[in-house]
Amino acid sequence: MNQLPSRAEILEFVRESSGPVGKREIAKAFGIRGDQRRELREFLNTLAEEGVLEIGRGKSVHEGGGLPKVTVLQVTHVDDGRPFAVPVQWDHPEPPPRVLVREKKGGRALGEGDRILARIEDTGRGYRGHLMKRIGRASEEVLGILRADERGHFLQPVDKRMRKTFAVDEIGDARPGDLVLAQAEGRRARVTQRLGDPFEPRSISLIAIHAKGLPHIFSDGVLAAAEKAAEQPLGEKREDLRHLPFVTIDPEDARDHDDALWAEADGNGGWNAVVAIADVSFYVRTGSPIDKEARKRGNSAYFPDRVVPMLPEVLSAGACSLVEQQDRAALVCHLNIAQDGTLSNWRFARALIRCKANIAYEEAADYEGLEPLWEAWRALFAARQRREPLELDIPERRVELDARGKVVSIGIRERLDAHRLVEDYMIAANVAAAKALEKKRSPVVYRAHETPGREKIDSLRDYLKTLGVPFAKGQVIQPSLFNRMLDALTDPILREQVSTEVLRTQTQAYYTPDNMGHFGLSLASYAHFTSPIRRYSDLLVHRALVRAYDLGPGGLTDAEEAELPQITEHISQTERRAMEAERDTTDRYVAAYLSERAGETVTARITGVTKHGIFATVDGVGGDGLLPMRALGQDYFRFDEVSRTIEGERSGTVYSIGQRLDLRIAEANPITGGLVFELPDGASASSLPTRGKPSGKRVGKGRKTPGTRPPKPIRKRGRRKS
């Protein structure tokens, strides 16, 4: 009679098996027969109770905390043609892992909501799913407006990408015109929750919160745990830095303060500086209810009328916030800044600080006592210029609301030297954190931004060729290459146009335990250390520093270290989710603002050209809208893919990205955030005034798609009611 396999032998067998593993396969592999099968079953159940293994519904066995070799996945979204999915069955408190799905060649492309059976591969950096067969589509939750007509109730989705409506069978307590959540299958739906009046100003951000699935309500258990954590003493093993006059520099309407600064001259031409960051790892311990909720959220999301915080307010705006004249726990980065702005040394410690003041960006230039801070920054800034990071002047919109939540104004957020000062100190501390952990041979959660791929560079080069802008092949792709190209463009319209395309060429930044460098900042090692109140990535870096420097409780655990590939993949996804929600909300506020100007003529900049028409953004306000191809009149327009232009066959009028033109607002929908433009009265495409036509000759023509010839003249229409 064979002995039962050990815990290690079973785990090794499960890990190395290429196919599904069950109790039968384990028994066969180790020669277990007869009564021993019952002992094996009990042993496996014990391992499952300990979390070493998991036993699925079909009696499949796989490693605890991971995914089985074969499982059912549901596609959550498609990014650049790549489907991502999550397991349908997931019984753990932490968020399910995201799986990149490899599709079969020649088959129908997977879409959001599809369910599949997949073979799972753990690549060490995340999971990859190999499609075995399609199972069908699951029911999906849809956010929309409940409508009614003579045929009954129907749901109009708020997502402008969803062009279909759903017949509604059950409406509950909802009424036509309400914003509702509904469960949809096929073309039918039932209302599951009434959210209220969609045109109420404060409903605008709520739409994005529900549409993107942002967790926004803390459970009673999490709130109670946060209250208890906020009351704990700050600990004794801390450097007492309360004699240093730290200041925080934040937006005037900042909801929390997680970083503070201080600097002095060192007497040798350089400076000593301290970047003090809220010691969130002291309050939020691994595995606690607060930690599990923070990991699920991944980050805070900021909207014009509210914030969806990563941590409960008693911590984010209370115990962890570095408010003035209050003792606060901090994790501090001591920096030695040389005369040339390079970092000559650094160290990390837990400290007790008391901020002298919380000041706004607008006050920093004239605030007394900050001269050493400014002097050290000028050196940091000079070092930054020598490093030549990517410099793209992309304006940030600011939505101002009144007390009722109605849009008062929308403008461009002013960029001050104080913004650059804070940014450069934060970058210095982030670099120090990454290098300090590397020196300690500790795991690092890197902020990675990879060099643009060849395909994107080739596409940019082809596009620039049509504008007469040189971009030679064979060059080493560095940020300075883009900077010099933009600096050489004297036409501001052309420069703005090319800047937009350079931005589109960049890869998306993400979090990873592997050092991929940061292309945009031109840095070899970079981590996020400075915002643990609002980013889980920074909290992980804090925990790694606490463990590496032996700073007391709250350090990174071995289990967390093992899970870093999955955790970083998850928080990269939550970051994208929050950014999309914030962007969509701003678009909806812009549409609400412009809805009161429907029928007016505005100046807009072309941001995209497709075979369907022209996408443009209203100057000074933002908001992307479409001027449909059919609205350009009776000329026959052709779309050129390479130059991204459309050209009138008879008039010769050319429209390209970056041009400005006068358009009339035909429709502005606050629910979807969508805008539709039309030509001003009496205008045609050939007579439409444009500003900033492309510079240089068109050198090459790309493949052209058929133009659009409208069958009938465009008739004027009244404003559509929502």
DSSP conformation letters of 129-147: EEEEEEEEE--EEEEEEEE
Average the pLDDT over 556-571 and give the result: 92
Amino acid present at 174: A
Q: Give me the phi and psi of 393, to 5 degrees please.
A: -90, 85
The model's confidence at residue 396, banded by pLDDT at 50, 70 and 90, is confident
- Chain position carrying tokens 């002995």: 3
What is the chain's percent helix, strand, coil content, to nearest 5?
Answer: 30, 30, 40
Closest of 337, 112, 373, 329 to residue 237, by C-alpha: 329
Asked if residues 308 and 579 have their Cβ atoms less than 8 Å apart, the reply is no
Average the pLDDT over 576-585 and give the result: 92
Q: Which fold has domain 7-63?
A: Arc Repressor Mutant, subunit A (1.10.10)
How far lies 81's CA from each of 102, 103, 109, 111, 491, in Å?
A: 11, 10, 9, 10, 36
The model's confidence at residue 699, banded by pLDDT at 50, 70 and 90, is very low
Amino acid present at 314: V
Token duo for residue 377: 């920054």
- What is the distance of C-alpha 649 from the center of its chain? 42
Average the pLDDT over 292-318 and give the result: 95
Angstrom distance (rounded) from CA 159 to CA 165: 11
Alpha helices for 188-219 (secondary structure H): 203-211
Token duo for residue 296: 């699920």
Average the pLDDT over 699-722 and give the result: 37
The model's confidence at residue 245, banded by pLDDT at 50, 70 and 90, is very high
Angstrom distance (rounded) from CA 437 to CA 431: 10
Predicted local confidence at residue 493, as pLDDT: 77
Q: What's the CATH number of domain 70-137, 3.30.565.10, 2.40.50.640, 3.40.50.1100, 2.70.98.60?
A: 2.40.50.640
The model's confidence at residue 89, banded by pLDDT at 50, 70 and 90, is confident
Average the pLDDT over 469-481 and give the result: 91
Angstrom distance (rounded) from CA 260 to CA 246: 6
Q: Which of 34-48, 313-327, 577-591 has the lowest mean pLDDT?
A: 34-48
| Neighbour count for residue 343 (Cβ, 10 Å) | 17
In the sheet that holds 327-337, the strands lie side by side as 239-240, 343-354, 327-337, 271-278, 259-265, 247-250, 357-360
Closest of 465, 524, 469 to residue 493, by C-alpha: 469
How far lies 367's CA from each of 384, 694, 709, in Å?
A: 24, 46, 62
Q: Residue 680 carries which DSSP code?
A: P
Predicted local confidence at residue 105, as pLDDT: 72
| Neighbour count for residue 716 (Cβ, 10 Å) | 7
What is the rounded average pLDDT for all residues in the chain? 86
Predicted local confidence at residue 567, as pLDDT: 93
- The CATH code belonging to domain 140-198 is 2.40.50.640
Angstrom distance (rounded) from CA 661 to CA 253: 35
The residue that leads in pLDDT, 53 or 131, is 131
Angstrom distance (rounded) from CA 201 to CA 407: 8
Predicted local confidence at residue 691, as pLDDT: 44
Q: Which of 453-457, 480-484, 546-550, 658-662 has the lowest mean pLDDT?
A: 658-662
Closest of 668, 673, 500, 667 to residue 586, by C-alpha: 673
The model's confidence at residue 486, banded by pLDDT at 50, 70 and 90, is very high
Per-residue model confidence as pLDDT tens digits over 651-693: 888 888 888 889 999 999 888 888 999 988 755 544 454 444 4
Per-residue model confidence as pLDDT tens digits over 408-449: 998 888 889 999 999 999 999 999 999 999 999 999 999 999
Percent of the residues in the chain that have a pLDDT greater than 70, as a whole number:
90
Cross-strand bridge partners of residue 74: 86, 115
Sign of CA dihedral 443, 446, 451, 452: positive
The helix/strand/coil state of 662 is strand
Predicted local confidence at residue 138, as pLDDT: 63
Predicted local confidence at residue 571, as pLDDT: 93
Which distant-in-sequence residues (6+ apart) come within 8 Å of 540 by Cβ?
445, 556, 560, 564, 567
Asked if residues 145 and 191 have their Cβ atoms less than 8 Å apart, the reply is no
pTM of the full structure:
0.76
For residues 80-109, b (16+ Cβ closer than 10 Å) or e, as one string?
eeebbbbbeeeeeebbbbbbbbebeeeeee
Angstrom distance (rounded) from CA 197 to CA 714: 34
Percent of the residues in the chain that have a pLDDT greater than 90, as a whole number:
52
| Residue 139 scores a pLDDT above 80 | no
Angstrom distance (rounded) from CA 241 to CA 246: 9
Average the pLDDT over 5-13 and give the result: 81
Angstrom distance (rounded) from CA 540 to CA 331: 13
Give the up-direction half-sphere exposure of residue 359: CA atoms within 13 A in the CB hemisphere. Answer: 22
Sign of CA dihedral 216, 312, 301, 558: negative
Asked if residues 26 and 17 have their Cβ atoms less than 8 Å apart, the reply is no
| Residue 377 scores a pLDDT above 90 | yes
Helix (H) or strand (E) holding 624: strand 622-628
Closest of 117, 152, 137, 147 to residue 185, by C-alpha: 137
Angstrom distance (rounded) from CA 227 to CA 313: 10
Predicted local confidence at residue 713, as pLDDT: 35
Of these ranges, 94-108, 123-137, 258-272, 699-713, the one predicted with the greatest mean pLDDT is: 258-272
Which distant-in-sequence residues (6+ apart) come within 8 Å of 678 by Cβ?
627, 631, 663, 664, 666, 714
Average the pLDDT over 351-362 and give the result: 96
Burial of 62 from C-beta contacts in 10 A (0-12 / 13-18 / 19+):
buried
Average the pLDDT over 332-344 and give the result: 97
Asked if residues 354 and 244 have their Cβ atoms less than 8 Å apart, the reply is no
Alpha helices for 17-169 (secondary structure H): 23-29, 36-49
The model's confidence at residue 134, banded by pLDDT at 50, 70 and 90, is confident
The model's confidence at residue 612, banded by pLDDT at 50, 70 and 90, is confident
Q: Which fold has domain 597-708?
A: OB fold (Dihydrolipoamide Acetyltransferase, E2P) (2.40.50)
Average the pLDDT over 69-79 and give the result: 83
Average the pLDDT over 224-249 and give the result: 94
Burial of 173 from C-beta contacts in 10 A (0-12 / 13-18 / 19+):
exposed
Q: Which of 132-141, 218-227, 677-686 has the lowest mean pLDDT?
A: 677-686
The residue that leads in pLDDT, 95 or 354, is 354
Predicted local confidence at residue 474, as pLDDT: 85
Q: Which of 57-61, 101-105, 259-263, 619-623 has the lowest mean pLDDT?
A: 57-61
CA angle 313, 297, 68 (to 5 degrees): 150
The model's confidence at residue 540, banded by pLDDT at 50, 70 and 90, is very high
